[in-house]
Amino acid sequence: MSETRRGSWKDSNWYVSMSGFFREYRKHRIGVFGIILMFFFLVMAVGAPWIATNDPSPGATIAPTFMAPVWMQVFDPNAVVSKEYMTDPYLADAPVFEYRGSPDEFSYAHHASTGSSDPSYVNLTWTHEAYHPLDFVVPPIPLSDMPDCRDFVFFNKTLEWTPEKMPNDVNITIEFSMTTTGNFSTNENGGLMFKLYIWLIDSSGNWKMVYKSFPPYSSVTQSRNIDLSWFDILAGWGGMVPDPVTGAQPEDPTDLLTIGVGLAPTKEFRYFGGEFPWRTYNGSVTAKVSKLSVFCYGNYYGLLGTTDKGADAWSQLIYGSRVSLTIGVLATALSTVVGVIVGLVAGYFGGKVDEVLMRVVDFLLVIPGLPLMMVLAAFLGPTVENIIIVIAILGWTGTSRLIRSQVMAEKNKAYVESARAIGASDTYIIFRHVLPNVTPILFANITLGVVGAILSESGLAFLGLTDPSKPSWGRMLADAQGSGGFSNGAWWVVVFPGLMITSLSLAFTFVGHTLDQVLNPRLRER
């Protein structure tokens, strides 16, 4: 094949070699720009796993919906950056440990990591002996922010909140395991006798409980993701920022927020089901906490914000180049092969064969294009392979007409006559003599065909005819349209996918136009 292609340059009157072609091509600025742009998209498609920051599947929620891109923060000096606010979430350094009430039965420990297989952790331990008195709150206060027992142990870590704005959403993630011994593990109600709590403690000393654990417990580390309610966020962060309505000064003296994690006995330990467990239980409870993370969301997330489903738009945008390029190139390759074969056969043999093939072309040209693609894609199922086939079915007609007209002009030339005279077969003449001479004119046609295929693919995806598991630019636009993205002011979900489609097809358009200028003899003479 490479032989044949090189032959075409040699046969051409204007170009002696490939380098001659490039010398001519370089003169067209938009052609060079198109090549650079194409290369850029190729790098994007190949390097997608490294460039993308998150799971690209359209349903992968990672943040609240319609967050703005992070770089929009330059217009918003008080912006809250969406990030991990806890310094040292994996507890590499010892946190502050404290007791409340009597420390007799409680202890703590911090283990610093010694290697990657040995993570850091914090142990909070409660060891109970029967009849050891505990200072219970009697009667228990329902919905209290404090535990049912005044004696307990906790550790706390402080984070700094510099923005003068509350976060939009906060996720606290805690990883812990519970090891119980004695009655705590043997008694079926042992899990009810203690709880692990998480508090937000502001700098005025107000405690707000945001999480308490429930049995069953396991000695295997498990993760809990706590999505704070608006009231929790108001209690924790509200004192550190000026009132958004009146502009009143913050009530808390410093911009520090403390997160406390504690282990405490419950009211069930004092009296449960007609029994007094504190008089009968012997044993210990150890809570091993290996991660405490506080992720605050502002109005901004990721390089390009989030979509209507809270997925990362940047990753989808990067992976979308794969679908567009694959479908654009493969559909054009398929339609070109069909178009060239039909064009060669029709042009070379003429007569009845030509008549039949050209009537098929006429027929395909009067069938409405996009509706037929829609019907076929819907019937066959919108997988990537089927979309390629559907686009190729309608794409070959133009190529075949072009090739046919070129072949009809070529086939009566002397060199074909002489080849036939020395007994060359039809196949040999077609592929060895006729095809190389019509190839140059084909290149521009192919490149412009890719543009059509890319635009068709994005149009079909916009109508919902796309592989539902794969991100695609047209689909991103469809999501933006369907969820009212831009009427909510989320312009980034509309602008960027469209810009990508435009620039990718623009790259092919520029290259195709330049190839046409350089290779098409009719245009070159001007």
Contacting residues toward another protein, per CB under 8 A = 30, 359, 362-363, 365-368, 370-372, 374-375, 378-379, 451, 455, 458-459, 462-464, 474, 477, 480-481, 486-487, 489, 491, 494-495, 497-498, 501-502, 505-506, 508-510, 513, 526
Cα separation, 205 vs 149, in Å, equals: 19
Structure tokens at 430: 């077609």
Residue among 47 and 484 whose Cβ is closer to another protein: 484
Residue 123: which residues within 8 A CB-CB, separation 6 or more?
108, 109, 110, 111, 286, 287, 288, 289
Shortest Å distance, C-beta 329 to another protein:
16
Q: What is the spatial distance between Cα 375 and Cα 441, in angstroms, rounded to a whole number?
A: 33
Q: Is the peptide bond before 139 cis (omega within 30 degrees of 0)?
A: yes
First to last CA, the chain: 32
- Identify the DSSP state of 139: S
Choose between 216 and 489: whose C-beta lies nearer to another protein. Answer: 489
Q: What is the DSSP letter of 212?
A: E
Between 231 and 363, CB nearer to another protein: 363
Q: Which residue, among 404, 397, 381, 376, has the nearest Cα to 466 in the 3D structure?
A: 381
Nearer to another protein, 201 or 501 (CB): 501
The torsion angle over the Cα atoms of residues 430, 431, 436 and 442, rounded to 10 degrees, is 80
Of residues 381, 393, 430, 380, the one with CA closest to residue 408? 430
Nearer to another protein, 20 or 368 (CB): 368
Q: What angle do CA 102, 188, 210 make, to 5 degrees?
A: 55
| Count of Cβ atoms closer than 10 Å to residue 411 Cβ | 19
Q: Closer to another protein at the Cβ: 301 or 508?
A: 508
Of 241 and 511, the one with the shorter C-beta distance to another protein is 511
Backbone angles phi, psi at 76, to 5 degrees: -140, 85
Q: Measure the CA–CA gap between 433 and 438, rounded to whole angstroms.
A: 9
Nearer to another protein among residue 18 and residue 370 (C-beta)? 370
Using DSSP's 3-state secondary structure scheme, residue 176 falls into strand
3-state secondary structure 77-97: CCCCCCEECCCCCCCCCCCEE
Nearest to 56 by CA among 338, 234, 316: 316
Q: How many CB atoms lie within 10 A of CB 245?
A: 6
Residue of 8, 4, 11, 9 lying closest to 19 (CA atoms)? 9
For 468, phi and psi rounded to 5 degrees? -65, -20
Q: Which is nearer to another protein, 7 or 464 (CB)?
A: 464
Residue placing its CB nearer to another protein in the complex, 167 or 474: 474
